[in-house]
Structure 1
Amino acid sequence: MSAHYSDWAGTYDDDVSSHGYTGPAYIAKLGAKLLKGMADRNPGTAKKDVRILDAGCGTGLVGVELEKLGFPKIYGCDLSQEMVDKAEGTGTYCELHGDINLEEPVTCFGATRFDAILSCGVFTLGHVPPEALLNLVPLLSEDGVIVLSTRQRYTSEHKFEEWCRDQEKKGTLTLDEVIIGAPYISDEQADYWIVRPPAAAKSAKKVA
């Protein structure tokens, strides 16, 4: 998989743009909305202080959208070093790491914890299994949130909601919200999952 994306890095942005790839803009706006809610609950929290991890950052499409929304502390990691090199060229990220496999514990950021982790186009068939989400949860701050996309075939084949509910019972995460059938690419919608640490347990709701 890493070799595939390394070869694709040079033309990736143009290729996905030709397919109407709106997922990065959508997930960035969704993340910003959730972070505003966090700031409302914690007066004094400003955009300049918020740390966001773009997990599976690719060439930096999500990071660019977050920068447009006024967030300066954007971190990124990806399996493909060549993709990370392209992301670095955007000038958007304050820290980037390549050769990071989300199926293993993510230790490259040391003790840094994130207020939001966004992952767009990563939890998809042939990429990473649902279990990779368990390697992201430990990177969250106490009030942090993960937003990830899944193409609907992935949702179905992995029984992703059922898997998340099982994890809730085990106390490993909290599924806070599911947005079904939201923008992704021109000919296919995606589902977006809002996940919080187990300590931030709330009543989950599904939005059709």
Structure 2
Amino acid sequence: MSSEPAPYGQYEDINADNRPSRFNKCLADSISTTDRIAHYDTWAKTYDEDMRSYGFTGPEIAVEYMKRYFTNTNAKYLDCGAGTGLLGVHIKELGYTDFHALDASSVALEKAKSRQAYTKFIEEFITTGKLGIETDTYDGLVCCGCFVPGHLEPDCVEDWCRIVKPGGIVFIVMNQRWLSQEPAYNEGKLEAAFQKRVDEGKWELVVREQRDKYFTNDVAEVFVFKIK
């Protein structure tokens, strides 16, 4: 496995000066939801380049699971927390014809549109309430890199069980470190939210796996669920 990850919230800044990195700022607990979205609006301009500089391979890892579970290229899928559409390049290459992008940042979604890979754009914040999406809309949902400090609450997955059709696949790619280091997820809180929906018969765990080099020294935790 990879070497010991850097301490909580510390990622090398791409800037030569001493300004806090754009990545670390988006993880801060001290900023409001409105300010966080505004930060992403500003960051969208350099987000792709910055994430590459941090060694982020989440989209490449996600592609493994898209190939494995999203086998019908004409089905309807959702990139939940799509951001600038880093998955879009792969979506286009794999031939998916109806992939939707959901994100709270309008500026990020504008950049995602430039990928010419998504067929619909939904500007909405992912909460523990209902999204403005009809029940049983999607054949699958991917959430890559959104379970991080200050972002998704564990119970947001409740609505994912509603908007994905029975038999559809939901898979989550996240940094393993947050399972132990993020107070909203640690001590089994996030896994408990996932297991609650298993116990309630809303989805079943298909596989849980790890992938090295999610960031340079971090491990990806991947959860795959099938909606019941």
What displacement does 1:181 show? 3.9
Answer with 1 or 2: which has the greater Rg: 2
Tell whether the 8 Å contact from 2:135 to 2:164 is kept in structure 1 after alignment: no
Q: Which residue of 2 aligns with 1:167?
A: 197
Match of 1:155 among 179, 182, 189: 179
Q: Which residue of 1 aligns with 2:11?
A: none
SS state of the match for residue 124, structure 2? coil
What displacement does 1:15 show? 0.3
Q: Which residue of 1 aligns with 2:139?
A: 115
SS state of the match for residue 61, structure 1? coil
Q: Does 1:66 align with 2:91?
A: yes
Tell whether the 8 Å contact from 1:58 to 1:83 is kept in structure 2 after alignment: yes
Larger strand share, 1 or 2: 1
Alpha carbons of structure 1 residues 112 and 90: separation in structure 2 relative to 1, 3 Å: farther
Alpha carbons of structure 1 residues 77 and 23: separation in structure 2 relative to 1, 3 Å: same
SS state of the match for residue 60, structure 1? coil
Instruction: Name the CA distance, whole Å, in 2 between partners of 1:179 and 1:80.
Output: 30
Q: Which residue of 2 aligns with 1:124?
A: 148
Instruction: Name the CA distance, whole Å, in 2 between partners of 1:162 and 1:99.
Output: 25
Match of 2:208 among 178, 186, 189: 178
The one-letter code of the counterpart of 1:95 is K
Tell whether the 8 Å contact from 1:182 to 1:190 is kept in structure 2 after alignment: yes
Alignment of 1:30-45 (within 5 A): 30-36=65-71
Instruction: Name the CA distance, whole Å, in 1 between partners of 2:76 and 2:108.
Output: 21
The one-letter code of the counterpart of 2:108 is M
Q: Does 1:106 align with 2:131?
A: yes
Q: Which residue of 1 aligns with 2:26?
A: none
Alpha carbons of structure 1 residues 99 and 164: separation in structure 2 relative to 1, 3 Å: closer
Q: Which residue of 1 aligns with 2:105?
A: 80
The one-letter code of the counterpart of 2:218 is E
Tell whether the 8 Å contact from 1:123 to 1:150 is kept in structure 2 after alignment: yes
Q: Does 1:54 align with 2:79?
A: yes
Q: Which residue of 1 aligns with 2:62?
A: 27
Tell whether the 8 Å contact from 2:78 to 2:141 is kept in structure 1 after alignment: yes
TM-score after normalising by structure 2: 0.75
Which stretches in structure 1 are left out of the alignment for 5+ residues?
37-45, 200-208
Which stretches in structure 2 are left out of the alignment for 5+ residues?
1-35
SS state of the match for residue 225, structure 2? strand
